Structure 1
Amino acid sequence: MKTDDLPSGRPAEDLRAALRALADPDRADQQRAYLHSDLVHLGVRVPDLRRCVTETRRRLGARPGSEVLALAQDLWSAQEGHTKPVYDYRRAAVEVLMQYARALDASDLEVVEALLRQCRTWALVDPLAVHCTGVIALRNPAAGTALDRWIADPDFWLRRSALLALLPGIRAGRPDTARLIAYADALVGEREFFLRKALGWVLRETSTRDPQLVMDWLDCHGSRVALLTRKEALRRLTSGEDRSRR
């Protein structure tokens, strides 16, 4: 299925045109520097980008997963005369997958994984991991097979994605506790900043509903837990701060 087959002309082309109209060269330079990015940046503000995608979704209405993936892949790969991909088009592709996440299922994670491997920045990885992959995983237990493979992948962005995909379940009060503990155990010795930070983030979210699980895990691993991870995990557990220094 190509985006030519979708209604309302060519949605990917229309969306790219809308984003180009919102380009801000000064913001683009700031964004590129902030993200340490080597992509082309237009400098579109995230709220404006999200609004453009929302308008596209409203025009298209409900679409099957195959068409959603086709639209996202079109946006992701477009260069339009540039020598490198365009960050804003890729961020729009992520937003499409987020807004249409309920149209996707576990089998679509093969495409999502391919995109995650090309993200190379938290600004694309995190929303795709949490608000697309995580939504799929919460609805479809079969997604756990992919997550279990990702947590052991050499690419640390895939490992981060597997962990962050547990957040929707945690926030919905339906945590996958077994995977949470297994993934946390697998990552406790990591030296990569983005993994230490993500682990603390997920533990912090867990602490709002199950503080004892978090404290027990921290006590179990003791000094193996990175200071950054421990600090993040305890951010909402002020009563646990003194205990963590034992």
Structure 2
Amino acid sequence: MTSESRIDVGTLAEAVDRDLRARGGSERAQKEKAYLKSELIHFGVSVPDTRAVVRAALRGTRLSHDEVTELVRLLWAAPTDSSGPVHERRAAATMVLIQSQDRLGAGDADLIESLLREAKTWALVDPLAGDLVGPLSEQDPGFDPVLERWAHDDDFWIRRSALLAHLVPLRQGRGDFDRFSRFADAMLEEKEFFIRKAIGWVLRDTSRKRPDLVFDCILPPAHRASGVTLREAVKRLSIEQREAVLAAR
């Protein structure tokens, strides 16, 4: 298919669905469903195989913005012959967005937020927040008020997304660390595991390039942080810094 070809997005979604089913397996499906404690239907397709299906579907063509979002909505929804949505179809929809992010922006925040609210699993939330919203929010200041609102949302998956949106830029030595640290400080005493883990994860990856920044950030409030957060946060710090943080707790 060439970039000049007229794209039938419905046919493309059907092709993705067909290829995912062909690569699936019932034993893997049962294991993944149990591991993720998932309420979705599972085909039993690995992440690399799902990614290969998406790459093959998009190869040789360039979807417009509207075609991208239409394809995502079709894949996210339950197939007509199914009793509910399918995990691998939703994973494929997430990958389509990530691979097409040069056609997306803050105007798509409502769509992305709706997917995050419906995802309810780290396996979908984390790539949407980290690999999609992260780069998009760094390029488009229109995401600034969105992230501010997410950081105070009642849904912990949305709050986690506000944190993980900083992951990729900070890991690469860029990003808005002041905003992340402000969000993290407000959530530092939360009991939710996925919030505690996210704070530590972002701090850990930030310390790859800026360990002193992380040390100065986490030491003063260490007594308020959970063990989960601190164990992640100090992994890449020096022995001296690590011991100081853990002692402060």
TM-score (norm 2): 0.92
For the residues of structure 2 that align with 1:222 and 1:129, how far apart are their CA atoms?
A: 26
Identity of aligned residues (%): 42
Equivalent residue for 1:85? 85
- What secondary structure is seen at the aligned counterpart in 2 of 1:220? coil
d(CA) in 2 for partners of 1:134 and 1:140? 10
SS at match of 1:10: helix
Shift of the alpha carbon at 1:202? 0.3
What TM-score, normalized to structure 1?
Answer: 0.93
1:26 aligns with 27
The 3 A distance-change label for structure 1 pair 8 and 93 is closer
- Residue of structure 1 equivalent to 2:178: 178
Equivalent-residue separation in structure 1 for 2:9 and 2:157 (angstroms)? 35
Q: Secondary structure at the match of 2:175?
A: coil
Opposite residue 215 of structure 2, the aligned amino acid is: M
Question: Which residue is 1:226 aligned to?
Answer: 226
What corresponds to 2:117 in structure 1? 117
Runs of 4+ in 1 over 4 A off after TM superposition: none
- Number of the residue aligned with 2:132: 132
Where do 5+ consecutive residues of structure 1 fail to align?
none
Amino acid at match of 1:243: A
Query: In 2 relative to 1, CA 140–225 (structure 1 residues): closer, same or farther, beyond 3 Å?
Result: same
Counterpart check, 1:37 vs 2:19? no
Opposite residue 52 of structure 1, the aligned amino acid is V
Query: In structure 2, what is the Cα distance between the partners aligned to 1:9 and 1:213?
Result: 48
- Range with greater deviation from structure 2 (181-190 or 121-130): 181-190
Tell me which moved more, 171-180 or 141-150.
Answer: 171-180
CA contact (8 A) 2:116 2:125 kept: yes
Q: Within the alignment, does 1:68 sit opposite 2:68 as a pair?
A: yes
Supply the distance in 1 between the matched residues of 2:146 and 2:171 (Cα, whole angstroms): 21
Q: Which runs of 5+ in 2 are unaligned?
A: 1-5
* Offset of residue 225 of structure 1: 0.8
Q: How many residues align?
A: 241
Secondary structure class of the residue paired with 1:199 = helix
Does 2:54 align with 1:57? Answer: no
Give, in angstroms, the shift of residue 9 of structure 1: 6.9
- Kindly report the root-mean-square deviation, in angstroms, between the aligned alpha carbons of the 2 structures: 1.5
